[in-house]
Structure 1
Amino acid sequence: MRHLRSATTVVALVAAGALLAGCSGGGSPSASDDAVTLTFWGTYGNGGNSAQTDELENELIPAFEKENPGITVEYVDMPYDGLKQKLTTSAAGGELPDLIRSDIGWVAQFAKLGVFKQLDGTMPGFEDLADAVYPGTLETTSWNGHYYGIPLNTNTRVLVTDAATLQKAGLSAPPATFDDLEKLAAGLDGSGTFAFADSGLSAWNVMPWIWSAGGDIADADLTTSTGYLDSPESVAGVQLLVDLYQKGQIPNLITGNTGATGTSDGLPGGLYASILDGPWMQDIWAGQYPDFAPAYSPMPSGDGGSISVVGGESLVVTESTAHADAAYKFLEFSQSETFQLGMARAGQMSVKPEFAQKQADLVPYFATFSDQLETARARLPIPQAGEVDTILNDELVPAFEGKVTVADALTAAAKKIDALLADNG
């Protein structure tokens, strides 16, 4: 099994001991070991996406139940914004389900609280399942040296461009390197089109540039950020963006100007030549800009290569489940070709490289994203990931505005992240 970074922290949602004292999971144990009902909470219908809920409820759950007589799965769909709050209050009140489709950013937080079950060393065959997924997706399920979920679906960010806008800059292909992005900016100087746009300075936004430049946010054991986030390589990755911003080639959308044109409108409108975004944009543009033909290409490479960031959801088992063995069977089923390609047809990317080609046959534009996932990495798998985003934004905005150097901004951010990492354990 791959060795991944560990993470710990203190999270003050509720006292960990109180959380689990009365938890009863998916109800009391069944009277018969042969009749089990698993309750599964998720957000497949978020935003009115009926295709995913239809696939799950009408095809995949029935297929699982046919393969596993005696196990019934009751799926409960919730609004995405409400699931975390429901999970928090239900854990405190002892009313947890057996299975949860969890945002990857929640895994460490609830693992720390003792809500999610540790899978390595507990679930039979977990190591084989873990070895079969993209490395970056597995890292999102880790906390404190152990694993608390299995990647369920994934995504990443790639460069998205428009051929007509590139031609305006004299380019026949999307920027493949940092140098190419600077050439794009030079070709657009004075044209009224920005070379690149993004909507913030969180880890989701800046880590692809830092990793691709050869930098990092912390050491492999998650003990320190100093020496990594403020390394010359990390500074170079952010400096590229700052230089383009100060040359007028990145709009102030990146520093939080809510009045600036969003990337989803600015790219098809010809205002932005390139953005980083995910596979979900294809359907959005098809509905809003039917004549727009986005071109997908890898994250521009620097000295560290072409490395982007992992998104998605994980499937977790709650610590309080009365039906762990049945829940493990559903986790195993979630990694099958039936489940992974069924959800690919409904718009969710597979977490397994072995299905990449079959997935691309079903959804051709997924191919570039699958290639990027081979090197994509996870953000810090710690409970205070939201605080990391706040730190990065707060320290980097002044650097873009020319008030401090990039090196000083990253040094300050590293010291604050050091304090979070010191809370691990």
Structure 2
Amino acid sequence: MRRGLAAAVVVAALTISATACSGGSSGSDTSGPVTITWWDTSDATNEAGTYKGLVADFEKANPAIKVEYVGVPFGDAQTKFQTAAGSKGAPDVLRADVGWTSGFAKAGFLAPLDGPAAAAESAKFKPNLIEQAKYEGKLYGVPQVTDTLALMYNKELFATAGITTAPANWDELKAGLTTVKEKTGVDGFAFNPQSYYAMPFLYGEGTDMVDAERKQITLNSPAAVKGIDTLNSVLAAPGIRKLDTTSNAYANIMDAFNNGKVASIIQGPWENANVFKGAAFKDKNNLGIAALPAGSAGQGAPLGGHNLVAYAGSDAKHQEASQKFIAFMTSAPSQVKAALANGTLPTRDDAYSAEVTANAGIAGYSKLLAGGKPRQALPEYSSLYTPFETQLIKIVSNQEGTEAGLDKAAAEAKKLLPEFSTQ
């Protein structure tokens, strides 16, 4: 999911109604063959092959339906779908980040999925994930994969440094960095300066970017300032890897971790398959997965993932085919197949078979899901990551003070949420 959060701002399009749009085909005839288009935003290298295989399985089981598979880079998909939906050219089905679902639903881009065709087995899904796929009480997505952030660490390097348990708080992590560097010569921790990876520092102080219920922007609250100050203290600790703010930061950090050049990172299960290809994790048991260190108010990590959503502008024939496809792709057998091949976490309890939970990566992350913090039910929520990240990079690069930077981020958030108050 998080190979780079989409930076698009969807608010400008939220007044556009897609209910008047029609998809690639017109008419309501439900007889005869139909071709639907699916935009898949999964990783082209490590995940897409599995989903292409599932498309073939679906077409074999449903010979009257063909699926045009289109791989769309995750970082481009939010803006691309928004543009396509506004100009009557959107795909019938989209693999959407959970943070996009409510915004697209508010804009009228998505068809409700409450009926039996797509969501007949919704009771078998994890309840918090179903709630995260709703907007104003209606279901607009069916969860395909889920995730949360954790501390990924190299057990061998930690053991060499005499660290036998994962750090419980950020002070313990900072102390461990020095020891790892001294004992192994390897950097103890690397941080990816994207806003999503900074969210645990806000949650750890009991706050978020916004309080939707109170209609208040909290990006510059005292708690948020404390959280980012804590992050800065970690980044200043001896033994940390030099901060990378280049466009290749994500790939550079993952390469360093996978090859044993850094001992720990904040990461999600979408990287499981890639990590196990690394030289440092040929023995999969060397990968440690633990809850993130806590702040003064406790531990917190975002609950993420992807929903399959259907375009509201498609005609009746395509709507029906799309719902069948969504049901198939989110079924227990399909989720098991994806989990075994890609190392991703299923969204329904009956997909956690013994074979799936034998995967070290899945077993480690699945234990942390219950503590994941769901996105707030605010259509503009995912757009808030952009102003936060712009200022975060300046703050952690010592180009801006924490309070001043977060004040600027809050001011930009206010433009997205003019009815909200600020601190």
How big is the shift at 1:97?
4.0
CA positional deviation for 1:315:
0.9
Q: Is the 8 A contact 1:201 1:254 kept in 2?
A: no
Give the aligned partner of residue 317 of structure 1.
310
Kindly indicate whether residue 372 of structure 2 is the aligned counterpart of residue 376 of structure 1: yes
Closer/same/farther in 2, CA of residues 295 and 31 from structure 1, 3 Å limit: closer
Alignment of 1:21-420 (within 5 A): 21-24=20-23, 26-30=25-29, 32=31, 35=32, 37=34, 39-43=36-40, 46-47=44-45, 49=47, 51-63=49-61, 65=62, 72-80=65-73, 84=78, 87-88=81-82, 90-119=84-113, 129=122, 132-133=125-126, 135=128, 137-138=129-130, 140-143=132-135, 146-188=138-180, 193-202=186-195, 204-221=196-213, 223-226=215-218, 229-253=219-243, 255-256=245-246, 262-289=252-279, 292=282, 293-321=286-314, 322-323=316-317, 324-325=319-320, 327-347=322-342, 348-358=344-354, 360-361=356-357, 363-379=359-375, 384=380, 387-402=383-398, 405-420=401-416
Structure 2 CA distance for partners of 1:353 and 1:212, relative to 1, 3 Å: farther
Call closer, same or farther: CA 1:416–1:128 in 2, change over 3 Å. Answer: farther
Counterpart Cα distance in 2 of 1:253 and 1:140? 33
For residue 258 of structure 1, report the CA deviation from its aligned partner.
5.5
The answer for the alignment partner of 2:3 in structure 1 is none
Instruction: Tell me the residue number matched to 1:4.
Output: none
CA distance in 2, matches of 1:190, 1:153: 39
Task: Indicate how the Cα distance of structure 1 residues 380 and 411 shifts in structure 2: closer, same or farther if over 3 A, else same.
Answer: farther
How far residue 88 of structure 1 moved from its aligned partner, in angstroms, is 4.4
Change (3 A) 1:189 1:107: same
Give CA-to-partner distance per residue, 1:274-296, whole Å, 9 cap, x none.
10112243332443426553222
Is contact 1:253–1:261 with CA below 8 Å preserved after alignment? no
Q: Which moved more, 1:238-247 or 1:413-422?
A: 413-422
> Are residues 113 and 305 of structure 1, via their aligned partners in 2, closer, same or farther at CA, if it must alter by over 3 Å?
same
Q: 1:206: how far off? A: 0.7
The aligned counterpart of 1:16 is 16
Alpha carbons of 1:272 and 1:408: their partners in 2 closer, same or farther (altered >3 Å)?
Answer: same
CA separation of 1:190/1:111 partners in 2, compared to 1, >3 Å: closer, same or farther? same
Q: CA RMSD in A?
A: 3.7
Q: Secondary structure at the match of 1:313?
A: strand
User: Is this contact kept in 1: 2:258–2:280, CA < 8 A?
Assistant: no
How many angstroms apart in 1 are the aligned matches of 2:136 and 2:414?
16
Deviations 1:250-308 (A, max 9, x none): 44435558689822122244442210112243332443426553222222234444432
> Which ranges of structure 2 fall in alignment gaps of 5 or more residues?
1-8
Decide whether the 8 Å contact of 1:10 with 1:423 is kept in 2: no
Match of 1:56, SS state, is: helix
Deviations 1:113-150 (A, max 9, x none): 32112345x66895972783252x44653456654212
Per-residue CA deviation, residues 349-387 of structure 1 (Å, 9 max, x unaligned), is 211245335463353320111122222234566555565
Q: Separation in 2 of the partners of 1:131 and 1:304?
A: 33
**1:41 touches 1:97 (CA, 8 Å); kept in 2?**
yes
Q: What secondary structure, in the 3-state scheme, does the structure 2 residue paired with 1:173 have?
A: coil
Q: Deviations over 1:189-246 (max 9, x none)?
A: 66654332122131x11112221332222214272123xx344443333222211222
Distance in 2 of aligned mates of 1:128 and 1:394? 41
Q: Please tell me whether the aligned partners of residues 26 and 39 of structure 1 are also in contact (alpha carbons under 8 angstroms).
A: no
Q: Distance in 1 between matches of 2:120 and 2:169?
A: 36
Alignment equivalent of 1:421, drawn from 408, 417, 420: 417
- Preserved contact between residue 60 and residue 342 of structure 1 (Cα < 8 Å): no
Query: Is the alpha carbon distance of 1:75 and 1:134 closer, same or farther for their aligned partners in structure 2, counting shifts above 3 Å?
Result: farther
1:171 deviates by 0.8
Aligned-residue offset at 1:406: 3.3
Amino acid across the alignment from 1:37:
V
